Amino acid sequence: MRMATAHGFCDAAPRPSPAAPKLKFQRALPLLKAKILQALNPLEIEWEGTRRSIGASIGASTVTGEMLSESDWMEAADKACYQAKAHGRGQMQVARA
């Protein structure tokens, strides 16, 4: 889009609101969780000559403005993982910001 200004013309694109990425993530999350868990549960592996079936519980976290370090981010994901395990096998929990 071209806009006229007091200094001439400039190109301008509509800017998404700051909440737009979070909304997209929240809408995509159920599908993302389903795809990841479907790929991992159950997962067949061979170990020491024996086929084994394993599963996964997953904790995830987005980075928020309150997090001061990578350790804060990992701690939030770790807590979410324990919450997923508490809900039973094959779960994924996302830390709430």
Whether 46 maps to a domain, the answer reads yes
Does a structural domain hold residue 6? no
* pLDDT value, residue 90: 86
Considering the domain boundaries, does residue 13 fall inside one? no
Coil, strand or helix at 94: strand
Asked if the bond preceding 42 is cis, omega within 30° of 0, the reply is yes
- 24 found inside a domain: yes
Domain assignment present for 12:
no
Residue 38 domain-assigned (yes or no): yes
Nearest Cα neighbor of 57 from 83, 39, 84 is 84
pLDDT digit string (tens) for the chain, length 97 residues: 444 444 444 444 445 555 666 667 778 888 888 888 888 888 888 989 999 988 888 898 888 888 889 999 999 999 999 999 999 888 889 887 6
Question: Structurally, how many domains does the chain consist of?
Answer: 1
Sequence-ordered alpha helix ranges (H) in 4-66:
20-40
* Alpha-carbon Rg for the chain in angstroms: 21
What is the span of the domain harbouring residue 84? 19-94
Q: What are the backbone angles phi and psi of residue 71, rounded to the nearest 5°?
A: -60, -40
Does 76 map to a domain? yes
pLDDT at 61: 86
